[in-house]
Structure 1
């Protein structure tokens, strides 16, 4: 199991940065975020490969966006245990590159998943697979879909493509906070997104591991996020130009490869960022 070594907390107010502090921990085996009413936490999991985002509500519900890489199922299980996750109400699969059929059934069974969400094309495939689980509902998201996911947390789909390097691009809104989870990196998706309302984005999940040509400078400036999140990939390296362009907008850039688990706790008016670097161990 990866061992959590350190927690660094950085406090952000709506319009300005607060103080930063670093707190030494021993071997942290569990993390209690102590969520109260009108609070949520979003954690970008620092797996050795692939994308997985955990959304936790004060009502005890958990949402998982993607399942990590093809060989990271044990890591994912251990990290979910660390965050006290016993059930997952909703699993979102953003695109075909994040669809690992051999991982789906174990996750549905172990975490009692009730709802699967994906693009209309992938949702059709998941319907047949989910037929073995009588309580699982498959929900297709298309452009323009809006859905309440948790109390005070809504999602609206800005783009849903089925072409190469396309998938679900959606915005989460929690009170005044806005998170943009972007998957697509095609020209068609970008042209579409440049027509959407992407003002006041607090958190931006960068698509396609920030590979070359996955984001244009124009779109980065249009989104203009306060914080950008990049997942780790064993096969792909981020484009330094994209990193520079993100930083040039004064976005604070976090990397799961460097920072480990990146947890952002939201209240009605503020949010706080915690990083939990992890020691990688061989799961093979």
Structure 2
């Protein structure tokens, strides 16, 4: 069954490939036509940092992280492309502040963000730096937090830490699908995750751009992901040992540097992969 699902996913990916230029200005708006019992998770192809867009059938948009310090224009371009006019929740998973206060305030204003969800360490800092009249609510999640964030979508915080290279790691449960968005890359985090019920993850967002020693072979085999997503920075290459370990689990690997923006659209029983590749400049 697993092999059949992998082959089906490869076939769908090849038939759903979308041609695009490097800038979003050359692409028509994307209508994912999300219906009842459907979910779309999009890993945005920014030149720096990470940003993941979650969209449900209610029309609500949730953004997980918001790219790097120089990617605000890129991020807004992609959000406009996906017809995002408002963001109900911004989830920030890293304790280290990647965005400037100016960027966060601009994002809140432009997309009418109602709620910011983050770690306890970062929530206090953000609350102090918001200089808006209509400030969003700032909430800190704890390890074990379980919240329904969209119709039929539940977020579960699997690990949260305050040591260097730690942050918030959480899963999204949608029918029988599990999406794992991992940020931490410490031995302590891995030891905690190995005790969780995390076998057979459908989609795995790898932490720290899959840089050297970010992820152990043991955890990769335990998660056994069908699809793995990399957000590699421009100047670095992922650890080849991590890629080998992923290949050995028969995981399909998508890199935003190589494949561009990656959307995975889920129904209650299946999923399809849509990529918007980056066209190399001549």
Superposition TM-score, scaled by structure 1 size? 0.90
Aligned to 2:49: 50
Matches of 1:99 and 1:113 in 2, distance apart? Answer: 18
Match of 1:32 in 2: 31
Q: Tell me what 2:79 maps to.
A: 80
Distance between the aligned counterparts of 2:269 and 2:144, measured in 1?
A: 27
**In the alignment, what sits opposite 2:192?**
192
CA displacement at 1:70 relative to structure 2: 1.2
Aligned to 1:273: 273
Deviations 1:80-112 (A, max 9, x none): 111000100000111034531231000000000
Regions of 4+ moved over 6 Å: none
Q: Give the match for residue 168 of structure 1.
A: 168
Note if contact 2:226-2:250 (Cα within 8 Å) is conserved in structure 1.
yes
Check conservation: 1:260, 1:275, Cα contact below 8 A: yes
Q: Distance in 2 between matches of 1:34 and 1:15?
A: 23
Tell me: CA distance 1:236–1:141, structure 2 relative to 1, closer, same or farther (3 Å): farther
Q: Does 1:181 align with 2:171?
A: no
Q: For structure 2, which runs of at least 5 residues remain unmatched after alignment? A: 21-25
Q: CA deviation at 1:16?
A: 4.8
Query: Is contact 2:202–2:226 with CA below 8 Å preserved after alignment?
Result: yes
Q: Report which structure shows greater RCO (CA 8 Å, sep ≥6).
A: 1
Structure 1 or 2: more strand by fraction: 1
- CA–CA distance in structure 1, aligned partners of residues 155 and 239 of structure 2: 29
- 2:252 corresponds to: 252
| Deviation of the 1:130 alpha carbon | 3.6
Residue 23 of structure 2: aligned partner: none
**How far off its partner does 1:200 sit?**
2.5
Matches within 5 A, 1:232-247: 232-247=232-247
TM-score with structure 2 setting the length? 0.90
Query: Following the alignment from structure 1 to structure 2, what is the Cα–Cα distance between the partners of residues 162 and 92?
Result: 16
Number of corresponding residues: 270
| Structure-2 residue corresponding to 1:17 | 7
Structure 1 SS opposite 2:208: helix
